[in-house]
Chain A
Amino acid sequence: MGVRSWIEGWPVYRQLAGDDPTGRGEAVRSPRTAALTSRTETADSVARSVCPYCAVGCGQRVYVSGGRVTQIEGDPDSPISRGRLCPKGAASKSLVTSPRRQRRVLYRRPYGTDWEELDLATAMDMIADRVLAARAQTWEDVDEQGRPLHRTLGIASLGGATLDNEENYLIKKLFTALGALQIENQARI
C-alpha cells in the first residue's frame, strides 16, 4: 500500500475531500463493510406480513432462510407505514424466534405444584371432554316462563384482538353453536 492510497483510505480524509462531509456514508465505508451481504439479500423467501402489536397496521417483510425467520423489516411499499417500524415492531423477530417462547404443551393437574408435559392430541381430547361435561352440567334449556335459552353459562372465553378475523369468526361460530355466551375480548376493555 502506497502512502497516497493509505492517506486516501483514511476516513477523515475521505470525509474532508469527498462528497460525504458529515461522515455518515461513503467516507466511513470500509472494505469489510463493502464485502458484507445482508440477510435480507440472501433470504430464500419473503412473506409480506403485518405487525402484530398495535392497530396502526404497519407492513412487514418477513425474510426466511433454511425454513427459519432470519429478519423482519418494515415494508416500504406500505402506504400506512412507508417502511417504518417502532421498537416493538422492530423487535418482532425476537417475538417469534426467542428461546423463551413456549413450544410444547404444558399441563397442571388440579392441586398440582408444577407443570407436566402432555401430548397435544391428548390435550385436545381432554379439553373436548371438559367442554362437553361443563356444558352438560350447566345447560339451560328455557327460562322460568318457558322461553328458549339454549345456552350454558358454565364456559367462558376471553381474547381475540391479537388474532385474525378468520380465527375470531370460527371462535364465535363454534362457541355460539355450543351455546356458550360469555365470549369476550380486549375490545371490551
Chain B
Amino acid sequence: MAECHPVGFQWVMEAKRRGATVIHIDPRFTRTSALADTYVPIRAGTDIAFLGGVVNYILGNELDFREYVLAYTNAATIVDESYQDTEDLDGLFSGFDPEKGVYDPGSWQYAGHAPDSGDTDADRETARPLRHESHGPPIPAGTERDETLRHPRCVYQILKRHFARYTPEMVERVCGVPREKFLEVCQAWTRNSGRERTSALVYSVGWTQHTVGVQYIRTGAIIQLLLGNVGRPGGGVLALRGHASIQGSTDIPTLFNLLPGYLPMPHHAQHASFSDWVAAIRHPGQKGFWADARAYAVSLLKAYWGDAATAENDYCYGHLPRMTGDHGTYQTVLNMVDGKVKGYFLLGQNPAVGSAHGRAQRLGMANLDWLVVRDLYLVESATFWKDGPEVATGELVPEECRTEVFFLPAASHVEKEGSFTQTQRLLQWREKAVDPPGDCRSELWFVYHLGRIIRQKLAASTLPRDRAVLDLAWDYPVSGQHDEPSATAVLREINGFEVASGEPVSGYTALKDDGSTACGCWIYSGVFAGGVNQAARRRPGAEQSWVAAEWGWAWPMNRRLLYNRASADPSGRPWSPRKAYVWWDAGKGRWTGHDVPDFEADKDPSYRPPLGATGVAAIAGDDPFVMQSDGKGWLYVPTGLIDGPLPTHYEPAESPVANPLYRQQSNPARKTYPRPDNPLDPISAVFPYVFTVSRLTEHHTAGGMSRHLEYLSELQPEMFIEVSPELAAERGLSHLDWAHVVTARAVVEARVMVTDRLTPLRVAGRTIHQIWLPYHWGGAGLSVGDSANDLFGIVLDPNVLIQESKVGTCDLRPGRRPTGPELRRYVDGYLRRAGLRKG
C-alpha cells in the first residue's frame, strides 16, 4: 500500500500513531513492510491456506463475535443434505463434472430450496458472478436456521469442518510461514476485533490476479464477518484499485458481460426475450432492493434509445447484442491471433506491456485489419509493428504486417471535465483547466463524433441491424471550437431524469418501470439530485466531519460505508460508544448517525416481514445486508460462485510443489485456453522457481503515463530483478549484473538486485526461492526494458475471468538473454525439456 497507494497509506500511519497494529503479508519486503509492526513473508499463491488458518483459529477457539455472527451472517442457516465438502471428496465439492471441468451447484444450496442448477459452463464463460459487485445472487425466500449453531449441517459447523485441516502446522507447510509468526497474526487480529474494536483488511491485485482470486477475497470476508468487522467504522475488506477510475469503468462498465449498474448483458439462450432478461435480473419473490430491478432495466433502455424505446417494442430490448460465451479480452486476443477480429480500439490501455502473455497480445494486433490507439504518448501497443520484441526475433516483419494503425492523441485529465470514481466508490468531478493541444481530444469527443459520423453515413439505411444505431439517443449539447460534447449532460443522463419534464430524479427509488424515467446507471442515480452536480462538491475536509459527506458523492445515495446498519446491534444501538456510526433514534423513529444509513430510514429494528413478503419489505429490521437475498452476510455461498461455496487452497496453475492439502492440485474450475501458443507448466523441475510481479511507487502500470516522463524515469531508470542472496549464490548471480528469467512463454532480461527483501521459504520440507520483477517496462519511452508480463500465460479465475498474473514458475540464469531468432529457439528448448513440446 505504501508503494502503490502512498497517499492513502497516510491514514494507516495515522492509525498506527494512535496505537493500531499494522501487519503486512507479502512475498516481498516493501516500504509497507518497513513501516509495519509485523512483516510476514509468504509464498505467492498460498493466501487461502494462510487465511483459512485464521478462520480455523477463530472457530477452534470460539473467538468469533457471536452476537454479530448469529444476527447478521448466515452462520445459523442449514445447508442441503446432499452437500459434500472438500473434506469428503479430497479437494472437490459435490457436483463436479470432470468432462466439462465445472460444477453443478445444485447440492450447495440451503436446505429446502429447490435446485436451480442452470448452465454453469455458460455462467463461467460470461463471468456471471461479476454481477454481484452490487448485490448478492438470488435465492428463494425462507431459510431453515439453528440459532444454537449445533446442527451438523448449519453453515457454522460446515465452516468448522471445512477449515479444520488449516492448522498452524499446515499453514507453515503450505505458505512457508513459521507457526509462531502465523499465531502472532491470529492473536493480533482477533484481539483487535469485537464489540469495542475493529480491524480493516486491505488488498489489491495481489489477491485478484489468481486462478482462485475471488476465493481469496471470500476468505478475507469470512474472517471479517466472523469477527464483526463488516459495516462498521475501522473495519471492512478494502480493495485498493490501481487506475483513477477503474471502479467507475466497472460500475459503468466497458466490460463485455455487463451493462451499467451490474445489469447483465443478454445471453442468447438465457435471455432470449425481454421478459426472460428482466426475470433473470429481478428474480420474483426475492428479498432486498434488487427486486425493483425492472425499473433500473427499463430506465437504462430509455436512456439508450430514448423515444424509440416503448412498452410495445420492449423498450428496444432487441437492439442489445447477445453473448454466446466468453467474449473477454483474452479470448478476443486469441481470436485476433486466429484472424477472427477485424478492428480494435485501444482507449488508454497498453496491452502489449500491461496484459498477460504480451507476445500473444502483439501477434494478435499484428493480425488485424485496423487498429485505433488513443493515448497521450506513443505506447508500445501503437508501435509494436515497428519496434516490438517480435520484430527483433523476426516473427514480425513490418513489410508483411497488414494492420493499418491510427494513432489519435488523447486529451489529458486537465484538458477535459468529467468524473472519476475512486477506490471507495466516491465520484469526484474535475474542472477543465485548459484546452487540449493540437489534435488531442477527449474520449467523450472521439466517441460522440464517431457516433455522429456513423449515424450520418447510415442515415438512409433500411437494414434492421442499423435501427439500433439510428434509434440511439445521441443528442448531446456541444460547445467550443472543437464541438466538445457536454460531460455534464452525460452525467445528468447517468443520474436519470423524468422523460416528460427532463428533470433529474433524486435517486434510484424514483425510477419507474413504465418508461416514464430514463437512467444511464441506476446505482449512480442521485449524483445529480436537485439538478446539482453532487460529485463537484468541494467543502474542505477541515470544515466538516471525519466522514466528509460533502466532498464528492459516493454511490449508492452518498453512503460512505456500505451495510452500515451493521454498526449498530440488532436492537439498533451502537455496539459500543467508541464504534458508533449509525443508530436507531427511537424518539424520532428514524435511523441517524454520522453517515447516510444504508437501510430504509424509518424501518424499526423490531420490524419483522409478514409471511410471503418480497423485495424490500422482506428485509427484517435487523438484516443489515440489504442487497443480499436473505439480508445476511454470507460466510457460505450457496449459489453464485463457479468454483465452490467455500474457499479452498489450490496451488497456482503453475507451482513447484504438489498441493499439501488435497489430491486436487489446482482450481478444478479454472478457465483455461489450451493451445500450443499458450503453454503452461503444471509442475516440473525445468522451471524450479516461483516468480511474482508488482508495481513501483515511481511508475504506473504499463508505463504509458510514467516511462515517458523525465522525473519518474530518473527515479526508477531501469528494469530489474530482485533475488535473495541465497538464490544469487545458487545461480551465480552478481548484484547489478545481467540475468534472465525463462518461462514456458518467454525470456526476459534485467539487471540483478541482490536483496534480502526476498527470502527463501521452507515449504513442504524443501526450500522455495521466489523472485520478484516490476512489470512496468517495455520498448517505448525514456526508460526501456523487457516486459515482465510477457512471462505469464493465460489462465483465469472462473468467476470473473481475471488472469493469474501474480504467480508462475520460471528458471533464472546469469547473463543476457539470446537475441534475434535464437530467442525463440532458446524458449522452445525449455518447452521440450519440460515435456510441453515434442520434437
CB pair B341–A124 under 8 Å, yes or no, is no
A181 to chain B minimum Cβ distance, whole angstroms, is: 5
Q: In the complex where A100-B782, A159-B349, A163-B443 touch, is A181 in contact with B321 (Cβ < 8 A)?
A: yes
In whole angstroms, what is the CA distance A98 to B245 when docked?
23
CB pair A96–B412 under 8 Å, yes or no, is yes
Q: In the complex where A113-B398, A127-B406, A167-B418 touch, is A55 in contact with B244 (Cβ < 8 A)?
A: yes
A52 to chain B minimum Cβ distance, whole angstroms, is: 4
B319 to chain A minimum Cβ distance, whole angstroms, is: 7
Q: From A84, A91, A132, A186, give the contact of B349 (CB < 8 A).
A: A186
A5 to chain B minimum Cβ distance, whole angstroms, is: 40
Q: Check: A88 CB closer than 8 A to any chain B CB.
A: yes
Q: In the complex where A157-B345, A185-B254, A189-B802 touch, is A102 in contact with B249 (Cβ < 8 A)?
A: no
Which residues from B are CB-within-8-Å of A127? 370, 372, 406, 450
Smallest CB gap from A90: residue in B = B711
Q: Tally A residues with Cβ within 8 Å of B.
A: 118
Q: Check: B99 CB closer than 8 A to any chain A CB.
A: no
Q: From B304, B404, B541, give the contact of A78 (CB < 8 A).
A: B541
Interchain pairs with CB closer than 8 A, number = 475
Which residues from B are CB-within-8-Å of A112? 398
Q: From B5, B485, B544, B710, give the contact of A94 (CB < 8 A).
A: B710
CB pair A95–B376 under 8 Å, yes or no, is yes
B26 to chain A minimum Cβ distance, whole angstroms, is: 18
Which residues A90-108 have CB closer than 8 A to chain B?
Answer: 90-92, 94-96, 98, 100-108
CB pair A171–B254 under 8 Å, yes or no, is yes
Q: Check: A24 CB closer than 8 A to any chain B CB.
A: no
In whole angstroms, what is the CA distance A19 to B552 when docked?
41
Stretch in contact with the other chain, from B421-429, B577-585, B629-637: B421-429
In whole angstroms, what is the CA distance A18 to B260 when docked?
62
Q: From A56, A104, A141, give the contact of B439 (CB < 8 A).
A: A104
CB pair A189–B413 under 8 Å, yes or no, is no
Smallest CB gap from A77: residue in B = B540
CB pair B355–A150 under 8 Å, yes or no, is no
Which residues from B are CB-within-8-Å of A114? 386
Q: Check: B828 CB closer than 8 A to any chain A CB.
A: no
Q: In the complex where A56-B7, A160-B249 touch, is A177 in contact with B414 (Cβ < 8 A)?
A: no
In whole angstroms, what is the CA distance A110 to B369 when docked?
8
Q: In the complex where A165-B494, A166-B419, A174-B472 touch, is A125 in contact with B349 (Cβ < 8 A)?
A: no
Smallest CB gap from A149: residue in B = B322
B662 to chain A minimum Cβ distance, whole angstroms, is: 29
CB pair B254–A157 under 8 Å, yes or no, is yes
Which residues from B are CB-within-8-Å of A101? 376-377, 409, 437, 708
Q: In the complex where A45-B433, A161-B349 touch, is A179 in contact with B321 (Cβ < 8 A)?
A: yes
CB pair A168–B7 under 8 Å, yes or no, is no
CB pair A56–B422 under 8 Å, yes or no, is yes
CB pair A168–B245 under 8 Å, yes or no, is yes
Which residues from A are CB-within-8-Å of B471? 177
CB pair B340–A187 under 8 Å, yes or no, is no
Q: Tally B residues with Cβ within 8 Å of A.
A: 162
CB pair B8–A69 under 8 Å, yes or no, is no
Smallest CB gap from B545: residue in A = A79
Which residues from A are CB-within-8-Å of B443? 163-164, 167, 170-171
Q: From B252, B253, B697, B705, give the contact of A95 (CB < 8 A).
A: B705
CB pair B409–A184 under 8 Å, yes or no, is no
Which residues A52-75 have CB closer than 8 A to chain B?
Answer: 52-59, 62, 64, 67-69, 72
In whole angstroms, what is the CA distance A59 to B382 when docked?
31
Q: Check: B701 CB closer than 8 A to any chain A CB.
A: yes
Q: In the complex where A64-B433, A79-B541 touch, is A108 in contact with B404 (Cβ < 8 A)?
A: yes
CB pair B319–A177 under 8 Å, yes or no, is yes
Which residues from B are CB-within-8-Å of A87? 697-698, 711-712, 715
Q: Check: B757 CB closer than 8 A to any chain A CB.
A: no
Q: From B243, B246, B420, B706, give the contact of A50 (CB < 8 A).
A: B420
CB pair B255–A115 under 8 Å, yes or no, is no
CB pair A110–B548 under 8 Å, yes or no, is no
Which residues from B are CB-within-8-Å of A124? 446, 449-450, 453
Which residues from A are CB-within-8-Å of B447? 167, 170-171, 174
Which residues from A are CB-within-8-Å of B346? 157-159
Q: In the complex where A77-B541, A105-B406, A172-B259 touch, is A55 in contact with B243 (Cβ < 8 A)?
A: yes
In whole angstroms, what is the CA distance A72 to B541 when docked?
20
Beyond A53-B705, A55-B422, A162-B244, list 18 extra A-B contacts (CB 8 Å).
A47-B430, A47-B431, A57-B244, A80-B426, A105-B439, A106-B378, A127-B450, A132-B457, A134-B343, A149-B321, A154-B342, A158-B346, A159-B348, A165-B248, A165-B427, A180-B321, A188-B328, A189-B209
What are 29 A-B pairs with beta-carbon distances under 8 A?
A45-B433, A56-B240, A62-B431, A68-B434, A80-B551, A86-B697, A94-B709, A108-B404, A109-B404, A111-B401, A123-B408, A124-B453, A127-B406, A130-B370, A131-B343, A133-B342, A158-B347, A159-B346, A159-B374, A160-B245, A162-B243, A164-B245, A169-B494, A170-B448, A177-B468, A178-B469, A179-B465, A182-B328, A184-B329
8 smallest A-B Cβ distances: which pairs? A79-B541, A57-B422, A164-B418, A103-B438, A159-B349, A151-B321, A159-B347, A160-B254
